[in-house]
Structure 1
C-alpha cells in the first residue's frame, strides 16, 4: 500500500509486515509507562467496557485541553502528520443520540443515520478525537461503530455519497486499530460507498472478507487498510504499531472530482491510561515506514 508524502497522496511502496499480536483488553491505568506495554483491543471503549448496540442519549462531556478542531478540520492529513491522534473513547458510552448502531444481523446502518459532530482537543501530547450528537459546534462526520469478534466481525455504514455536497460530512471516523481492518466498498446498486470495520482481520481476514462479499454481490472492493499496512515493529521490544484511522474526502482542484482516502496514523503506547481511561499514545520509535499511511478509495 502507499504511504503519504505531504504535498501528494502517493509515495514508494513500503514493505509488508506480519499481523500484530492478538488484540486484548487495554492495559490498566498507570502513572508511568510500562517497560513493555501489553497489546490492546481495537475500538472506542475503555478496559472492561463493551460496544453498545443500543441508542442511549448521553450528554456531551467537556473535553480537557486546547480545542484544535478547526486546525484538524482544515487539513486532516497535514495536521495528522505533525500531531499524535488518539481515537480511543471517542464516545462517552459507545452510543450517541440520533445514531443507529449495527448488529450482527444487520451489519450496515445508513450513513444518514450515523451523523455526529467531531471535535479534537490537544491534551498531554495527544490530539484526542471525540464525537457528540449531530448539530453541535465542530466537524460534521459519519460515525462507524464496530462489533467485537464475539458479536459479529463486520459493522459499517452504507450510502456514503461518492462526492458529498457542501454541508454533507466529508469525514468518517471509527475506533483505533490493533488487528482490525477497514474496507471501502463500492455499492453498484446505487453508486454509493459503504465502509466496513472488520474485527480481528489479522487472523483470517481475507477469507472472511471473501465470504462476506459473496453474500453481498452488489459490493465491490474499493480499498482496504489492514494490519499489513499499519502493523510494524517498533521500540525496544519490536512491539507492533497500531493505527488511528479516519476516512476523508478531499475536493478536487478546479473542476476535477474529489477523492475519498482511508488514512491511518501509526502509533504506539506511552502509558496505559489517562483521564477517562483513554490510553496515552506516542509516535513510534525506529519506524522504517511513513508515519501516515493512505489508501485511495478507487471506484471505476
Structure 2
C-alpha cells in the first residue's frame, strides 16, 4: 500500500459508465472541458507530501457543520479531498486485505471544517484535539483488498462518544452499514469499485465465516449519487458522511448515511484540493440520505 489514502475517489468517465481504477486526477469527459477546469496537483485522502498538515485556510465553520451536518451540507459544498496531508493521524489503525475491519476505538479522529474558495473543506487530526470527535473509515483500492471498514460502533453512542463517521469522496465506490446482532453494534464498510459488480461482491464478502454474523442495514451506492449534471451530462460524485441524531424526548436516536452530490469546478487549489461545486440540472435532491435501520 502506497501510504494512507482517504476515500474512494475514482475518475469519472463518459456516461453511462464510471471509470473505477486506482485513484488519480479525473480523466476528461467527452467533449473535453478546458484544461483550466481539470483538477490538477492534488491527491486523494492522506496521500500527500509534507511532514505535518498545514494550517487549514479559510473561516472555521466546524461548529456549524457539527451542530447541524445535514443543514450545513444543504447550504454549502463539502470537500473531503486531502483531509490530512502529511501522514496518518496519530493513534489511527489501518485495515488491510487480510484484516478489512479495525475496531471503532482505534479509528477516532478530530474533524474540522473551514470555508475556503466556495467549499467547506473537511480535515482530520488525531483524537483529542479541538473539533468534532469522529470515526475515520479507511479506503482500500481494488488491488489492496477493496473492502475497508470499522466495527464495534455503538448503535446508540453516549454523548462522550463519536457521533460522526468520515471517509473520502465517492466516484464509483459505496458505503455500507452492517449490524451485528450478537453485540448490537454497527460496522461501516467502504467498498471500492462498487459500480462494477458490487451487489455480488458484497454478498460474497458477507458469506465469509468472519462476516456471516453481520447484516446489511443500509447502503449508499452509485445508484443514489451518480447522476448526469451540466450540459455534458457528467456523472456526479459525492462527499459522504455518517452521523447520529438524538431526537428530543426519550425516543431512540439513529445513524444516517448522508451524501452530498458534487462535481468539479477546477483543480490545483492551495492545500492540494480540487474545488468542487454544486451540480446543475439535477433531477434529484442535492443531499441524499440513507437511514441505518437494524
Under TM normalisation by the shorter chain, which class is it? 0.7 to 0.9
User: Contact between 1:43 and 1:146, CA under 8 Å: does it hold in 2?
Assistant: no
> Which residue of structure 2 lines up, in the alignment, with residue 167 of structure 1?
160
> Which residue of structure 2 lines up, in the alignment, with residue 267 of structure 1?
262
| Deviation for aligned residue 1:93 | 3.5
Partner residue of 1:143 out of 129, 133, 136: 136
Partner residue of 1:111 out of 104, 113, 116: 104
Whole-angstrom CA distance in 1 between matches of 2:126 and 2:270: 21
Whole-angstrom CA distance in 2 between matches of 1:172 and 1:58: 25
Structure 1: gaps (5+ residues)? 1-16, 51-56
Number of aligned residue pairs: give it: 271
| Deviation for aligned residue 1:104 | 0.6
Structure 2: gaps (5+ residues)? 1-14, 28-32
> Which residue of structure 2 lines up, in the alignment, with residue 21 of structure 1?
19
Partner residue of 2:230 out of 196, 215, 235: 235
CA change 1:18–1:165 in 2 (3 A) is farther
> Which residue of structure 2 lines up, in the alignment, with residue 204 of structure 1?
197
Whole-angstrom CA distance in 1 between matches of 2:34 and 2:74: 24
Partner residue of 2:217 out of 215, 222, 231: 222
CA change 1:33–1:189 in 2 (3 A) is farther
- Give 3-state SS (helix, strand or coil) of 2:115's partner: strand
Do residues 284 (structure 1) and 279 (structure 2) align? yes
User: Contact between 1:232 and 1:287, CA under 8 Å: does it hold in 2?
Assistant: yes
CA change 1:212–1:165 in 2 (3 A) is same
| Deviation for aligned residue 1:189 | 2.4
TM-score by length of 2: 0.86
User: Contact between 2:254 and 2:292, CA under 8 Å: does it hold in 1?
Assistant: yes
Whole-angstrom CA distance in 2 between matches of 1:172 and 1:247: 5
Whole-angstrom CA distance in 1 between matches of 2:87 and 2:155: 27
* Residues 127-148 of structure 1: per-residue CA shift (max 9 Å, x gap): 0000001111100000001011
